[in-house]
Amino acid sequence: MEVPAPRRTRIQQEKRELILEAALEVFSTNGFRGSTIDQIAEAAGMSKPNLLYYFRRKEDIHETLMQRLLDTWLAPLRELDDIGDPLTELRSYIRRKLEMARDFPRESRLFANEILQGAPRIMPMLEGELKTLVDEKAAVIKGWMRAGKIARTDPWHLIFSIWATTQHYADFDVQVRAVLGPNRGGDGRFEDAARFLEQLFIDGLKPKT
């Protein structure tokens, strides 16, 4: 099952990192098919044949990037724990996801690109690892509902809505900034978003009598 990690020299490790960093930048803004090896090579400061010495095919770069992404991407959900106050747990899950949108927007866009195009390369992972994890956490949330700690609703769609609202600030960043304008679209937008989302998820919109 486990593929043995190939032995690599120091230079190989460094250069591969350099390439992956450059490829993340290029892929996340142009999509897989919209990106060229030349673009990535230039962004990494090396020639195309040299890049191809470290990654034999364009797909290999993308695949490596994807595998790394998925681990870190699901980390916040994995941390969602049964211990502690449910509302607090959900609040900090939302906060963690929003922080990821703020700190790793390229990774978010890379993922969004892949899903948008029908997830051709990561479908098995969605139906396997991801579904298992979500089902597991949905069960935890269901427990909280049964215990009367949070309102009864659909845990799966709750998780979707957290993903959607937080990743929106990475994936649709240009739209968010365009609509907010130069004043409110600055660095403060993530704190505004955090405040808003907390209120939305906890209290909803109904006026407090």
Partner DNA sequence: GCAAATTTTGACCGATTGGACAAACGTTAG
Partner DNA sequence: CTAACGTTTGTCCAATCGGTCAAAATTTGC
Question: Footprint of DNA on this chain (CB under 7 A)?
Answer: 9-12, 15, 35-38, 46-50, 52-53, 56-59
Nearer to a second copy, 54 or 61 (CB): 61
Based on the shown chain and the rule CB under 8 A, indicate whether residue 74 belongs to the binding site for a second copy: no
Choose the stretch contacting a second copy; rule: CB under 8 A; options: 12-20, 32-40, 44-52, 63-71.
Answer: 32-40
The CA angle 111-66-173, to the nearest 5 degrees, is 25
Candidate list 127, 139, 186, 188; residue touching a second copy; CB under 8 A: 127
Residue 94 near residue 166 (C-beta atoms within 8 A): yes
From the CA atom positions of the chain, what is the Rg in Å?
A: 20
Paired tokens of 129: 């690892």
Candidate list 115, 139, 143, 188; residue touching a second copy; CB under 8 A: 115
Q: Count residues contacting a second copy (CB under 8 A)?
A: 64
Which of 65, 59, 76, 77 is CA-nearest to residue 28?
Answer: 65
* Residue 70 interaction partner, one of a second copy, DNA, none, beta carbon < 5-8 Å per kind: none
Min dist CB 137 to a second copy, Å, is: 11
Which of 48, 46, 49 is CA-nearest to residue 36?
Answer: 48
Paired tokens of 38: 């030349």
H/E stretch holding 153:
none
3-class secondary-structure state, position 154? coil
Q: Which residues bind a second copy (CB under 8 A)?
A: 29-34, 87, 90, 109, 112-113, 115-119, 123, 126-127, 130-131, 134, 148-151, 153-154, 156-158, 160-161, 163-165, 167-169, 171-172, 174-176, 178-181, 184, 192-193, 195-197, 199-208
